[in-house]
Amino acid sequence: MKYRVLVSDPLAEEGIEILKGFADVDVNTGLTEDQLVASIGNYDALLVRSGTEVTARVIDAGAKLKFIGRAGAGVDNIDTDAATRRGIIVANAPEGNTLAATEHTMAMMLSLARNIPQATASLKKGEWKRSKFMGVELNDKILGIMGFGRIGREVAKRAQAMDMKIIAYDPFITQEKAASLGVEMVPLDELFRRADVITVHTPLIKETRHVINAETIATMKDGVRLINCARGGIIDEKALADGIASGKVAGAALDVFESEPPTDSPVLGLDRVIVTPHLGASTVEAQQNVAISVANQCISVLSGGAAKYVVNAPMIPAEQQALVEPYAVLAQKMGRLLIQLTEGRLESIKITYGGEAAALPNTKFVTRVILKGMLDPILQAPVNIVNAEFVAKERGIRLSETTTEEAHGFRNIISITAKTDKMTESVSGSVSAPDHARIVSIGGYLTDLTPTGHVVISRHTDKPGIIGKAATILGRVNVNIAGMQVGRHKPGQEALMVLTVDSAVPTEAMDEIEKIDGIHTVKHAEI
């Protein structure tokens, strides 16, 4: 059988040549959604970069599609949920552009320190203003790295060669792992206070959007320099512009923007801001690497094998689906909830399978699904059942898995305990029927929680008035409470409150709830 592959974005020729040795390849770029829908039914695989929007409509039209490959890291332009529903493997090439992004970061840092783009533009206008472009040395400066994944570590390695001192923030890298690389892990507020140069290498998620803002900039050193070659939106561009205007920020180098192209960004007209049009992965070598990677993965999948960097791996092997899937679905949601309830740097994860869950034929698979639920939402690199354990190990996170006959009054139970450098938190869940799974315990307090939607979870002193005050605050911001549970061990001591709500809770409301007398901790989570 001769397979057909559609390449709908420009792809390095090296990747296309590999594909041509295996399948009939059509390169047709610039297609509209309607055009893609009209033609995709003839193809077994689709390879894209960032230009093609692979919507649910496109995927549903791809009757023969078995594989969608992204030549690069980000898959924001692919409806992975729609692909998963159709059983289509989606894979990317996250490592191919690591060095390109690293080197671009270093180029931006050096250019920022020595005002190279500004000096170049001045000289080309016929000016000779040496004193205007006085720079600073990076030697002995403190570099703060936000996000210590592949790119962050490569940046650290090169900055150390220039005798910079490296501090980093990443809640999923242990102190021991960082120390082995000669890097000091610090809380984010400390990084902001101490660093002379701050470079961003985190994903754009709810917790990182505008994490660099007017308030955090105010805590930084006078004359700090900021670099973002990761994702637009991590830096509040208006706050950055104000910081530069005031002199608090000496300069910034941006490769990514909140809106691209950044036609209305307030930073574009500032002399002390260096900008490039999202060039982090734009090297010949990087484009070759990602093209070759995604081409080889495409061939492997079409040949009946696996892809190395699966983004949406099928939930479970087909032969175990009926038995394992309910546990896997519950486990991923438990992991997602647990990571939102923790604070600090994750050090270890303990997973216990009890009762009938201990007899599952594939607990290792469920464990990987748990890791995906915990790590995928907050890491730059995609986490899936293929690489989950590797990703955890790479970050120095200890993992243990045990089985026991004890199920604490349930037929089956899965318990996850996460230990960070600040706290220990746990979540347990049970499956009573294929379509009926519940979270039955949080932090040792009994619950009966449907694992879906938004929840507000607090620990508080068991005394009158606290629950009512929290409910009043939620009502004032038009957040409807769908359900409420309270667990306690003894009257008058600590209790756990779980509020199921119909929508996300504004940050201001959560801050107000946290200030209620008697509230110890409160978290908003989306399961």
CATH number for 226: 3.40.50.720
* CB burial of residue 237 (10 Å; 0-12, 13-18, 19+): buried
* Domain-embedded: residue 401: yes
pLDDT mean across residues, the chain: 91
Q: Distance between CA atoms of 351 and 331, rounded to whole angstroms?
A: 10
Q: Which two tokens stand for residue 448?
A: 């009966």
Centre a 10 Å sphere on the Cβ of residue 146 and count the other Cβ atoms it contains: 24
User: Residue 223 above 60 pLDDT?
Assistant: yes
* Domain-embedded: residue 444: no
Q: Distance between CA atoms of 499 and 484, rounded to whole angstroms?
A: 5
90, 127: one domain: no
324 and 316 in contact (C-beta within 8 Å)? Answer: yes
For residue 50, the model assigns a pLDDT of 83
Across 343-367, average pLDDT: 90
Q: Distance between CA atoms of 101 and 281, rounded to whole angstroms?
A: 6
Residue 333 is given by DSSP the state H
For residue 47, the model assigns a pLDDT of 97
Q: Distance between CA atoms of 224 and 147, rounded to whole angstroms?
A: 18
Q: Distance between CA atoms of 429 and 437, rounded to whole angstroms?
A: 7
* Domain-embedded: residue 503: yes
Provide, rounded to the nearest whole percent, the portion of the chain with pLDDT above 70.
Answer: 97
202, 346: one domain: no
Which sign, positive or negative, has the C-alpha torsion 255, 257, 260, 266?
A: negative
3-state helix, strand, coil in the chain (%, to 5): 35, 25, 40
Across 400-407, average pLDDT: 92
Q: Distance between CA atoms of 310 and 91, rounded to whole angstroms?
A: 4
Q: Distance between CA atoms of 291 and 500, rounded to whole angstroms?
A: 45
3-state secondary structure (DSSP) of residue 286: helix
* Domain-embedded: residue 311: no
Q: Distance between CA atoms of 194 and 219, rounded to whole angstroms?
A: 9
Across 14-34, average pLDDT: 94
128, 177: one domain: yes
247, 130: one domain: yes
Centre a 10 Å sphere on the Cβ of residue 379 and count the other Cβ atoms it contains: 19
Looking up tokens 């919507």 gives: 55
Direct distance between the N- and C-terminal alpha carbons of the chain, in angstroms, rounded to an integer: 43
Greatest mean pLDDT among 55-59, 374-378, 386-390: 55-59
Across 125-154, average pLDDT: 94
Across 209-218, average pLDDT: 96
* Domain-embedded: residue 443: no
225, 325: one domain: no
Give the chain's domain count: 4
For residue 4, the model assigns a pLDDT of 96
202, 258: one domain: yes
222, 322: one domain: no
pTM to 2 decimal places: 0.67
CA 191 to chain centre: 20
User: Residue 314 above 70 pLDDT?
Assistant: no
For residue 380, the model assigns a pLDDT of 62
207, 352: one domain: no
Q: Distance between CA atoms of 501 and 526, rounded to whole angstroms?
A: 10
User: Residue 319 above 70 pLDDT?
Assistant: no
* Domain end among 436, 463, 491: 436
* Domain end among 384, 406, 436: 436
Q: Distance between CA atoms of 504 and 510, rounded to whole angstroms?
A: 10
Across 92-112, average pLDDT: 93
Closest by CA position to 6, among listed 59, 85, 73, 80 = 59
Across 135-159, average pLDDT: 95
376, 507: one domain: no
Lowest mean pLDDT among 147-161, 168-182, 403-417, 428-442: 168-182
| Residues catalogued as catalytic | 231, 260, 278
Residues with Cβ within 8 Å of residue 468, at least 6 apart in sequence: none
User: Residue 261 above 60 pLDDT?
Assistant: yes
Q: Which two tokens stand for residue 26?
A: 């059509």
477, 381: one domain: no
The number of CA neighbours under 13 Å toward the Cβ of 274 is 27
Q: Which two tokens stand for residue 497?
A: 């409150």
Looking up tokens 């068991």 gives: 462
User: Residue 221 above 90 pLDDT?
Assistant: yes
Q: Distance between CA atoms of 483 and 265, rounded to whole angstroms?
A: 43
Provide, rounded to the nearest whole percent, the portion of the chain with pLDDT above 90.
Answer: 73
Domain that holds residue 135: 98-275
* Domain-embedded: residue 230: yes
Residue 52 is given by DSSP the state S
Q: Where are the beta strands (DSSP E) in 231-303?
A: 249-254, 273-275
pLDDT tens digits along 281-298: 889 999 999 999 999 999
* CB burial of residue 266 (10 Å; 0-12, 13-18, 19+): middle
Looking up tokens 């909830």 gives: 337
439 and 415 in contact (C-beta within 8 Å)? Answer: no
206, 353: one domain: no
Lowest mean pLDDT among 15-29, 117-131, 166-180: 166-180
Indicate the pLDDT class of residue 317, thresholds 50, 70 and 90: low
For residue 87, the model assigns a pLDDT of 73
Residues with Cβ within 8 Å of residue 233, at least 6 apart in sequence: 204, 209, 210, 258
Residue 23 is given by DSSP the state S
For residue 238, the model assigns a pLDDT of 96
- Beta strands 224-228; 165-169: pairing state: unpaired
Residues with Cβ within 8 Å of residue 161, at least 6 apart in sequence: none
CATH at 347:
3.30.1330.90
Strand partners, 167: 144, 184
Side by side, which strands form the sheet with 89-91? 24-27, 4-7, 45-48, 67-70, 89-91
* Domain end among 378, 403, 436: 436
Indicate the pLDDT class of residue 163, thresholds 50, 70 and 90: very high
Single-letter amino acid code for the residue at 424: T
For residue 494, the model assigns a pLDDT of 92
Across 328-340, average pLDDT: 93
333 and 409 in contact (C-beta within 8 Å)? Answer: no
* Domain-embedded: residue 448: no
CATH at 525:
3.30.70.260
470, 383: one domain: no
* Domain-embedded: residue 447: no
Query: How many residues in the chain?
Result: 527
For residue 433, the model assigns a pLDDT of 85
Q: Distance between CA atoms of 342 and 146, rounded to whole angstroms?
A: 19
